[in-house]
Amino acid sequence: MENLHDKRKIYDRSELLESQIKENPMEQFRDWFVEAEQNSQISEANAMAISTLEKDGCPRTRMVLLKSYTWEGFVFFTNYDSRKGKAIESNHKACLHFFWPSLERQIIIKANLEKLAENLSDGYFHSRPKGSQLGAVVSPQSEVIPNREYLEEKLKNLEKEFENKEIPRPMNWGGYLAKPYEMEFWQGRPNRLHDRIIYELQEDFDWEISRLAP
């Protein structure tokens, strides 16, 4: 077994002080996200982990792609019948996580999830490349399948079926809006004294801002 005790990195790229932050966490997210998009070392700034709670009480985490964000929250798309979709159906809370190592930053978001309106899911689905549309139809996401060939054969058949036709969005595929009620912004600092600023949504819909010890 490899000993990793000596694998250490000094975090000294930036700081996060109360005098620098925005009053609304979505504004703060926008500023950090723009920096991440402009950083040449980050290939997918919109890659985010999403953790949901499964029936056995254990959280399950996977990577998805953020497709948009608004004042209300964060939008991503998935198969509603997948393990992710079923977990969200039974428990509408989830934790989102962005990690940008080259900026020494991460954002941890607790959110309530709700399905997007069908017309919004339709619009996004038909904006995708045809191959991605077919992939959403072909895959019974999270179900056990016999082999890879099963998917490939199914894809070939659907390519023929929809060769010159519009592909309808599967009713079990669409978007979610994750509406945050807690957002933590983490900035790496020297000596492991990291900056942690947390926003917590109050009953009057204002955000309370606090600093957490690292």
- Active site residues per annotation: 192
C-alpha separations of 161 from 75, 140, 155, 169 in Å: 31, 18, 10, 15
**Residue tagged 């058949």 (tokens):** 157
Q: Could you give phi then psi for residue 47, rounded to 5 degrees?
A: -75, 125
Report which of 134, 140, 85 is spatially closest to residue 114, judged by C-alpha positions: 85
Calpha distance 177→96 (Å, rounded): 12
Report which of 115, 122, 33 is spatially closest to residue 81, judged by C-alpha positions: 115
Q: Please give the full DSSP string across 55-119, using - where no structure is assigned.
A: TTS-EEEEEEE--EE-SS-EEEEEETTSHHHHHHHH--EEEEEEEEGGGTEEEEEEEEEEEPPHH
Give the other-Cβ count within 10 Å of 78's Cβ. 20
Contact 151, 145 (CB under 8 A): yes
C-alpha separations of 54 from 82, 83, 89, 93, 140 in Å: 12, 8, 10, 11, 19
